[in-house]
Structure 1
Amino acid sequence: MSEPLQEPVDATAVAEFLRRNPRFFQGREELLAEMQVPHPSGAAVSLVERQLGLLRERNHELRERLGQLMDVARDNDRLFEKTRRLVLDLLDATNLEEAVGLVEDGLRHEFQIPFVGLILFGENASPAGRWVDTEDALQTIGGLLACGKPMCGVLRSHELGFLFGEERRPQIGSAAVAALDHQGLHGVLAVGSPDPQHYKSSLGTLFLGYIADVLARLLPRLANSPLRPVR
């Protein structure tokens, strides 16, 4: 059913209403910022009109910026809750295979990340998880780990192949990488996206780094194979 047509507003009635209610705008100051009241000054634009115009533009920009900040805050709240659940699940893991499965499944399904790579470094591989020789890892992705903090962006082809496998390499446009490094355990946690712009160099990696820190402290308790320290 279509909405009934509204009758045009009677300007005289509005003026009479405001005259009888001089305090109408108290508590409704935002309405004043939207009003356009010309200031007679001939053909030129008066200073008052120009100032009001700038104030309206500034008000609009601030509203947009506030909306963006609120969106970021909501996204961070969701990420925090997902990270909290994943960490609690990891703390309940009883073996390495279970912990590796929780990380990979959690990032793919809960975080909706299509490509996940969790690699541990050591000479003697454990039956669970993906293990590579420490020297091979350093030769291939040493540059990604050298900074000591998570990084993201468009990676080189051989780095993507090492982190995610040669079959998935052509599908990945950008990635984020966090090192695992704690008391003899070394490895890397990587996430990837087909969108080259998804993991930009300016994108925050706080939650990925947090998950990597938890793994670095938890996995040594679950791993059966001794790990060789990185030289």
Structure 2
Amino acid sequence: MTDKTSAPARIDAEAVAAYLEANPEFFVGRDELLGELHVPHETGAAVSLVERQIRLLRERNLDLRTRLSQLMDVARDNDRLFDKTRRLVLDLLDAQSVEEVVGLVEDSLRHEFKVPFVSLTLFGEHASPVGRWVRVSEAHQAIGGLLARNKTLCGVLRSHELAFLFGEEQQQLIGSAAVAALDHQGLHGVLAIGSPDPQHYKSSLGTLFLGHIADVLARLLPRLTPPLRTVR
């Protein structure tokens, strides 16, 4: 009785040659196999032009595969970020108070986005019992340079900027950060995230999702808070 679970018999070169001879059309429609075949072109010590061209094509093919794989990885990461951002925005739109907004943002960024350091700071002359509020003059003095650019920034921040955004204790632990201003009909605050890795938030890092969350907060918070003065 034949054991169907046993390993298949090893095929030797003669058997492969006999099969290809009997099936000369085997490689038709299997161009990917042709690209992997290695058929030396006998030219003595020199490398033939044809062989060199084939080698270059194979190297380019490998490079294209690597790039495609990287692009697919980026696309999958962006899909995950988009889904997390969508869910956070929908939750924010249902929020009924500043306390709920602050809790949703901090919880989502820390647990869904896996961000180790999160800071949401609102500006106003009168502190609110909910969230972190600072006076306009204090914000302007500490991070006026970041706010003046009026765009989302990434990179290594100065120690006093980190201390203002994340606190004296945490600023020593942060290697790089991304900062997005909450700006809609006047500057309302700043949303910042940090990482212990100095290379994590590079200056070239895309800030689309963080900027989108900040834009939503900037339009939502004025409905739940008193009018805020503009920082210039």
TM-score w.r.t. length of structure 1: 0.94
Aligned 8 A contact 1:178 1:212 in 2: yes
Which residues in structure 2 correspond to 1:163-178 (within 5 Å)? 163-178=165-180
Q: Does 1:182 align with 2:202?
A: no
CA positional deviation for 1:4: 7.0
CA positional deviation for 1:34: 1.1
Instruction: Show the counterpart of 1:57.
Output: 59
Instruction: Show the counterpart of 1:226.
Output: 227
Counterpart secondary structure, 1:190: strand
CA deviations 1:111-150 (Å, max 9, x no partner) are 1101000011111122211111112212211222222211
Instruction: Show the counterpart of 2:115.
Output: 113
Instruction: Show the counterpart of 2:30.
Output: 28
Q: Which amino acid aligns with 2:110?
A: R
Q: Tell me: CA distance 1:74–1:19, structure 2 relative to 1, closer, same or farther (3 Å).
A: same
Q: Does 1:154 align with 2:156?
A: yes
CA positional deviation for 1:23: 2.1
CA positional deviation for 1:7: 5.4
Aligned 8 A contact 1:150 1:177 in 2: yes
Distance 1:226 1:204 in 2: 31
Which sections of structure 1, spanning at least 5 residues, go unmatched? none
Which residues in structure 2 correspond to 1:1-231 (within 5 Å)? 8-223=10-225, 225-231=226-232
Aligned 8 A contact 1:185 1:229 in 2: yes
Which sections of structure 2, spanning at least 5 residues, go unmatched? none
Q: How many residues align?
A: 228
CA positional deviation for 1:27: 2.6
TM-score w.r.t. length of structure 2: 0.93
CA deviations 1:185-219 (Å, max 9, x no partner) are 52100000111111111111110000000000001
- 27-36 or 115-124, which moves further after superposition? 27-36
CA positional deviation for 1:229: 2.3
Distance 2:46 2:8 in 1: 36
Distance 1:156 1:26 in 2: 63
- 95-104 or 120-129, which moves further after superposition? 120-129
Distance 1:165 1:27 in 2: 64
Distance 1:20 1:139 in 2: 83
CA deviations 1:9-30 (Å, max 9, x no partner) are 3212112212222222223211
Aligned 8 A contact 1:154 1:175 in 2: yes
CA positional deviation for 1:162: 0.5
CA positional deviation for 1:156: 0.7
Q: Tell me: CA distance 1:139–1:75, structure 2 relative to 1, closer, same or farther (3 Å).
A: same
Distance 1:28 1:90 in 2: 53
Counterpart secondary structure, 1:93: coil
Aligned 8 A contact 2:175 2:197 in 1: yes
Aligned 8 A contact 1:124 1:226 in 2: no
User: Structure 1 segments of 4 or more deviating over 3 A?
Assistant: 3-9
Q: Which amino acid aligns with 1:16?
A: A
Counterpart secondary structure, 2:172: helix
Aligned 8 A contact 2:181 2:187 in 1: no
Q: Which amino acid aligns with 1:226?
A: P
